[in-house]
Structures are given as C-alpha cells and as structure tokens.
Amino acid sequence: MELEITSLHQEQYERDGFAIVRGGFTADECDRFVAYMMDLHAGRFSVEGYPPRQPDDWSRLISRSLHHPAGLAWMLDPRLRQPLRTFLGDEPDGVQSMYFYQGSEQRRHQDAFFLPGCMSAWVALQQVSARNGSIHIQVGSHKRELIEKRHFRRDENGELGPWYGWGQDDAFDALFARNGLPEIAIEADKGDIVFFNGRSIHRGGPILDEGAFRHSWAGHYIPRSYNPWPYESHPRLRVSFDGVCRFTPTH
Ligand SMILES: O=C(O)CCC(=O)C(=O)O
Ligand SMILES: [Fe+2]
C-alpha cells in the first residue's frame, strides 16, 4: 500500500509547513503498536535498553542511537519514504523517534532547534483531540526565523547572540508572538499522519482530561545530504530506508 501524497498535500506543506495524510496507517496496525508499547512498558517482554517502567511513568520514550524493533519498523516503514523524500527534497534518514503514551504539553519549540535540518512524521495511534492533548502548529512559521542554540551564546568574537539571556521556552513564545501567525490545533483520527517542517513552531496542547492516554508516535528525519551535526557531543546514528546505518561525524 502506498501513501497518496497529492498536489494539495504538497501545496499545504510548502505554504503552511505541515500536511495531514488521513488514514496513512490502518487501525489494526495502530492497535498492535499500542499493545506492543504497553507490553514493553509493563515488562511483559523485554528489549535490551528498554527496561520496564514504573507503572505511573507515562512520559514520552525517546529513541536515538538505540531503537526497539517496533519503533525501528515504524521509523523505516516503506510507506513513509516517498512522502518524506518529496517534502525533504532528498532521501530521508531517520535520526530519532518518540513514543507518546500521553499528551506532552511540551511548550512551543522548533524541532530543528534540537535536530538541525529535520522534519517530522507524527502519527495518531488513537483519536487525538483537546481531550487528550492535541498538537498545535503555528501555520506558516517554517518560513520565518529559526532559533538556533548559538543564538543564546556569544559568538567567537564575543558578540552576544540575538537571544542571549533569554530562556529557551520564552524565546519560542516571543518568536511565536512576533510572527503573528495563526496557530491551529490538530484533530487526528487513528492512523492519520501529520508531516511537518522542523522549522514550524509547535507544541503539545493542554490536556483537558488529565491522565488520558494519547498514544502517538513521531519519527524525525534529516536529508541524506545533510552532513554537519553541530550540536551533539556524540556521533549521531542515522538509519536509511534501505536499512543502512550511518554515523554523522561531529565537529
Ligand atoms: O506530540 C506532542 O505532544 C509533541 C510532539 C512534538 O513536539 C514532536 O513530535 O516534535
Ligand atoms: Fe516537537
């Protein structure tokens, strides 16, 4: 099964910084992934590097240089390859995935701040709405400023970066306000995929029903030709859709 990326998706991605592909994964695939992650959480089976968690620890699970089999399979699902290639304009390499048991309520940010050059494929594994904390995206913000880590520091000449002295979360809120663009709350059904630009300002929205599950998954990808890895102290594992693993040198 191929994911159908229409010219409307492409226009929306270019114009707004994101595109929603409805029903990209089947309900059955989502249910099986959720069951796997619940079993992993409870220790009903074990994967090295992913020990069972405390029963009340539903914080997001981030995989970078080590992937559990289901997360790796989702990150490299062949259906994601062509859409990512289209949106990135290059062959995609997976660099990270996150599993969310619950909404994150993460404050506004740009993923490219953390992972320069990246874009995301975010998948609702159940219905996602304000009840369990939808994601909010500032429409068109991908065409505006990107906040970078060096903006909070002095440069090599001792000059203060443009966000020097700011707290990171406050800087993103200030940029959001300065952009003056609308923000939308994504409503998604099980299996819907939200592709979004790493420069788009987004957040995990408020959760109305405290403690509600919001099973969802996000994969983060960089273009194959993107080689610098300026902000990490360790070489970064990137996995291609053909299964080849590479390390990006740091410098
Ligand atoms: O799902 C969320 O609550 C936040 C998602 C997010 O920030 C991301 O996938 O980059
Ligand atoms: Fe994010």
Per the structure, the complete domain to which residue 47 belongs is given by 11-224
Residue 65 clears pLDDT 90, i.e. is over it:
no
Which residue, judged by its Cα, is nearest atom 2 of ligand 1? 204
**pLDDT value at residue 231:** 72
Nearest atom in ligand 1 to the alpha carbon of residue 122 is: 9
d(CA 205, CA 186): 9
Does the residue 238 lie in any domain?
A: no
Question: Which residue out of 176, 202, 207 has the highest number of ligand 1 atoms within 8 Å of its CB and is therefore the one to mutate?
Answer: 202
pLDDT tens for 153-212 read 999 999 999 999 999 999 999 999 999 999 999 999 999 999 999 999 999 999 999 999
Does the residue 64 lie in any domain?
A: yes
pLDDT tens for 76-93 read 999 999 999 999 999 999
Does the residue 128 lie in any domain?
A: yes
**pLDDT value at residue 1:** 64
- What's the pTM value of the predicted model, to 2 decimals? 0.96
Mean pLDDT of all residues belonging to the chain: 95
Q: Is 102 in the pocket of ligand 1 (CB under 6 A)?
A: no
Residue 233 clears pLDDT 90, i.e. is over it:
no
Does the residue 202 lie in any domain?
A: yes
Sequence-distant (6+) residues with CB within 8 A of 207 are 102, 103, 105, 131, 132, 133, 214
Q: Is 135 in the pocket of ligand 1 (CB under 6 A)?
A: yes
Number of domains in the chain: 1
Which residue shows structure tokens 């740009």? 110
d(CA 159, CA 15): 34
Nearest atom in ligand 1 to the alpha carbon of residue 111 is: 10
Does the residue 54 lie in any domain?
A: yes
CATH number of the structural domain spanning residue 23: 2.60.120.620
Does the residue 30 lie in any domain?
A: yes
Give the closest residue to 89 by CA, choosing from 201, 197, 8, 236: 197
Mean of the pLDDT values across residues 127-139? 98
Does the residue 38 lie in any domain?
A: yes
Find the 31 Cα to ligand 1 centroid distance in Å: 20
**pLDDT value at residue 251:** 61
**pLDDT value at residue 178:** 98
Does the residue 241 lie in any domain?
A: no
Q: What is the number of other CB atoms lying within 10 angstroms of the CB of residue 251? A: 7
pLDDT tens for 20-31 read 999 999 999 999
Its sign, for the CA torsion 127, 22, 75, 108, is negative
